[in-house]
Amino acid sequence: MSSSVSCAQHHQHQQLSFRGRVGKTSSSSSSCSTSFSSRGGGRKATLKCFAGGGAISKPWDIQKPCKLVLEDGSVWQGKAFGADGTKVGEVVFNTSLSGYQEILTDPSYAGQFVLFTCPHIGNVGINPLDMESTKVHMGATLVRHEALNVSNYRSTQTLDSYLKEQGVIGISDIDTRAITVRLREKGSLNGVVTTDMSISDDELLKMSKGYDIVGKDLIGEVCVKEPYKWVDPTASEWEFAEKAKSNKDKFNVVCFDFGIKNNIMRRLASFGCDLTVVPANYSAEDVMKLNPDGILFSNGPGDPSAAPYAVENCKKLLGKVPVFGICMGHQVLGQAFGGKTFKMKFGHHGGNHPVRNEFTQAVEISAQNHNFAVDLNSLPKEVKVSHLNLNDGTCAGMVWEEKMAMTIQYHPEASPGPHDSDNCFAQFVDMIRANKGMAVSR
């Protein structure tokens, strides 16, 4: 016994099964038929397609050309996805194997292009629940292969359509391995990505050489303009920390928004913190009027030396209540301590960086994203280096006990990523408890 389905039924089935870009036939007279036959107790399907006089185009053949020009003069031809246009930025590579949506929406990437070393990007699409902020902050997305078909039950749209909405250029089919080696050898390079093939390579090279992220106050571009409340903890289905599950206390914490990520706020809320998020230039006096039990200095983009107002706020608040600095907050507090910061060769970007706790000698696998670091030799003797990056020996954490201050140069929320550093939130809350004369958690 056999039966058949029409071409229209077959394509309807395909559209229900896959979400992505599809090619178009060059002739409206193309047809497909699927035959089913019963043999040996099973069913066998045979699909036959005929393109009446014209070939069916491949999805990857309909992409427009795009190119990347680096400041060293190298030109990389690729295919465009996302938005059209021309953008300039600092090119950095990220070694994470998952979480491209969280990376896209991390405000710390403002002013930069992200080159993904993971070869397949876009395969799980985009969903509204995994955003780290309200928009994409990076200037361009650089990948080896953009997945044209999406397969994930939470996905609501493709990477291509999302980047179009966000006005962000994507380039695929470039040699990301070769570019990564170049960045490791030469350091981070400025670059220009364009879909406008009328612009000459010489013009694009001039644009890339004219860009410099050093000295740019990018914090002011990504932070909020008015204070707001954050109340959402990590959803119960994703919660993994027993200390967070068992916590019953509530603490008033003010978060300076240098480019804060949603999951940092979720983790703090899970550990009992009622959060008030304030702009980066909010005065120390106004912060203290909010009667905080603790203060967070968040992650953010760019050069910490370009935000002296943030450093001055830190100086005024040190010693009044417990403070916690993450990434940019770590660097800003480092300057407030009396130390100096410097620009790294190619920075740390990825979810696999080993960090050693200098107090316990335990090694954590951490998620990191920064191009600047605190100079260990510039810190006063009162400040203890709590964590070291084992890849290059740079400062990854500090503690100044007398000032009730702790910092880390990586992302303890790591969503997605390793959970090794999540205990930092519990340590910060324990500092608050100790300052209020409460028993600390065990």
Write out the catalytic residue numbers.
Answer: 327, 411, 413
The residues near 112 (Cβ < 8 Å, ≥ 6 apart) are: 89, 90, 91, 92, 138, 139, 213, 301
Beta bridge partner(s), residue 167: none
Q: In what order do the strands lie in the sheet with 251-257?
A: 228-230, 273-279, 251-257, 294-297, 323-326, 405-408, 395-400, 384-389, 341-357, 363-374
Q: Residue written as tokens 């996905």?
A: 155
Separation between Cα atoms, residue 402 and residue 320, nearest integer Å: 10
Burial class (CB in 10 A: 0-12, 13-18, 19+), 42: exposed
Q: Residue written as tokens 């050093």?
A: 214
Task: Estimate the crossing angle of helix 423-435 against helix 262-270, to 10 degrees.
Answer: 50
Separation between Cα atoms, residue 330 and residue 408, nearest integer Å: 6
E strands in 149-227: 149-150, 169-172, 189-194
| Interstrand relation of 65-70 and 189-194 (parallel, antiparallel or unpaired) | antiparallel
Q: Residue written as tokens 């890849």?
A: 391
Task: Pull the structure tokens for residue 91.
Answer: 């090119």
The residues near 242 (Cβ < 8 Å, ≥ 6 apart) are: none
Separation between Cα atoms, residue 48 and residue 36, nearest integer Å: 12
